[in-house]
Structure 1
């Protein structure tokens, strides 16, 4: 079944692409609500799911945190600041043969992976040196 494009779906897509950050669903909702106060939270959340399912945006599952929505579609890695929780792209080439290099001892069929690094962002590091 083909889904139709709606004004709300277009707003959600343009927000994720335009802000160029790894936004939570709540951040997307709050941003859109400023100019479109009648939009429902459920509408934003539902459209984020649809856009991720369609491949227009990427859903990034953050360990111990809310999912983020990414404007970059190619495979890449992420780093989360352990102080502020912000998520950033890691500037490195994809390890293309990683699935082939896994030594499977549990009978698993590996389908995909997300690599998530932890660190401290420049803003939080600067705050620490000020204190």
Structure 2
């Protein structure tokens, strides 16, 4: 269960995008805020149930949709076509294993030469698009363990 300070952080994040605070939203954000967590809706539902939370699968789906629409989480497809969600809010890119489908976060602070703001400007200048966000994914085969 989040501490009071974390709980207020979730309230503030939800309020900042015009959403009211609910316990399901807080629990979903808490679950997704961890690095290297990219569950499908069903995996998220099962993870919350294992933590002892009484939540319905339809509630998970509904809140994932609302949180994504308001920019608090990111939705993407893995190499196998499954819809996954990411709430890790430190700037990062994804490393995706094309064989296993595993997705790892790589914080941008570990890639100091990668200038996403410069890339956004360059694309905007060359295309006329107003680029709002950049998502980068590196696909390949992860290290043998």
Match in the other structure for 1:5? 21
Aligned length: 120
How many Å separate the matches in 2 of 1:76 and 1:15? 18
RMSD after superposition: 2.8
How many Å separate the matches in 1 of 2:130 and 2:71? 21
Structure with max Cα Rg: 1
Provide structure 2 residue ranges, at least 5 long, that are not aligned to the other structure.
1-16
Where 1:85 maps in the other structure, the secondary structure is coil
After superposition, where does 1:45-124 map in structure 2 within 5 Å?
A: 45-56=61-72, 58-62=73-77, 64=79, 65-90=81-106, 91-93=110-112, 94-95=114-115, 96-102=117-123, 104=126, 109-111=129-131, 112-122=133-143
How many Å separate the matches in 2 of 1:55 and 1:101? 24
Q: What is the CA-CA distance between 1:108 and the residue it aligns to?
A: 5.2
Q: What is the CA-CA distance between 1:20 and the residue it aligns to?
A: 4.8
Any idea what the Cα deviations from partners look like across 1:65-103, whole Å, max 9, x if unmatched? 333322322432111011210111234234220123337
Larger RCO (alpha carbons 8 Å, 6+ apart) = 1
After superposition, where does 1:8-27 map in structure 2 within 5 Å?
A: 8-18=24-34, 20-27=36-43
How many Å separate the matches in 1 of 2:90 and 2:97? 22
Provide structure 1 residue ranges, at least 5 long, that are not aligned to the other structure.
127-131
Where 1:61 maps in the other structure, the secondary structure is strand
Which 4+ residue blocks in structure 1 deviate beyond 4 angstroms?
A: none
